[in-house]
């Protein structure tokens, strides 16, 4: 990930059982390893890694950042496709011919020798 700039707006999402969009927040400070957000004080562990943009905490991360809302929406859509494909292949794999499964494996870059 690129290094954020003070004053830049990033898209913040709270991670819970259902994600809660917080919206755009400004970068307050940038150091050598971490940056913080200019956001109301009730956000615990307001420290993010410059390398990964992941929240720095001793516990599980409560928030994550994206550069903008479009990237967040794209991640949501990709997750939906991933879950739908996993479910379809997991439960309905016998509905497909061997040739169809081989084509899907080729598209996904699955190599049986790796398993």
Considering the domain boundaries, does residue 28 fall inside one? yes
Q: Cβ neighbours of residue 82 under 8 Å, at least 6 residues apart?
A: none
Co-location of 57 and 85 in the same domain: no
Considering the domain boundaries, does residue 59 fall inside one? yes
pLDDT, residue 69, reads 96
**Number of separate domains in the chain:** 2
Considering the domain boundaries, does residue 115 fall inside one? no
Considering the domain boundaries, does residue 16 fall inside one? yes
Question: For residue range 7-58, what is the model confidence (pLDDT) as tens digits?
Answer: 999 999 988 778 889 899 999 999 999 999 987 655 667 899 999 999 998 8
Considering the domain boundaries, does residue 2 fall inside one? no
Co-location of 35 and 84 in the same domain: no
Co-location of 24 and 61 in the same domain: yes
Nearest to 8 by CA among 40, 41, 45, 36: 36
Question: For residue range 74-99, what is the model confidence (pLDDT) as tens digits?
Answer: 999 999 999 988 888 787 778 888 99
Domain with 96, as residue range(s), is 71-110
């Amino acid at each position: 990930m690129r290094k954020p700039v003070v004053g830049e707006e990033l898209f913040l999402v709270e991670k819970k059982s259902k994600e809660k969009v917080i919206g755009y927040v400004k970068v307050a400070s940038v150091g050598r390893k971490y940056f913080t957000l200019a956001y109301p004080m009730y956000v615990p562990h307001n420290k993010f890694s410059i390398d990964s943009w992941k929240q720095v905490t001793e516990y599980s991360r409560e928030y994550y950042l994206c550069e903008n809302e479009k990237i967040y929406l794209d991640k949501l859509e990709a997750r939906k496709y991933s879950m739908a494909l996993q479910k379809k292949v997991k439960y309905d794999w016998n509905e497909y011919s061997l040739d169809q499964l081989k084509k899907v494996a080729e598209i996904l870059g699955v190599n049986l020798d790796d398993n």
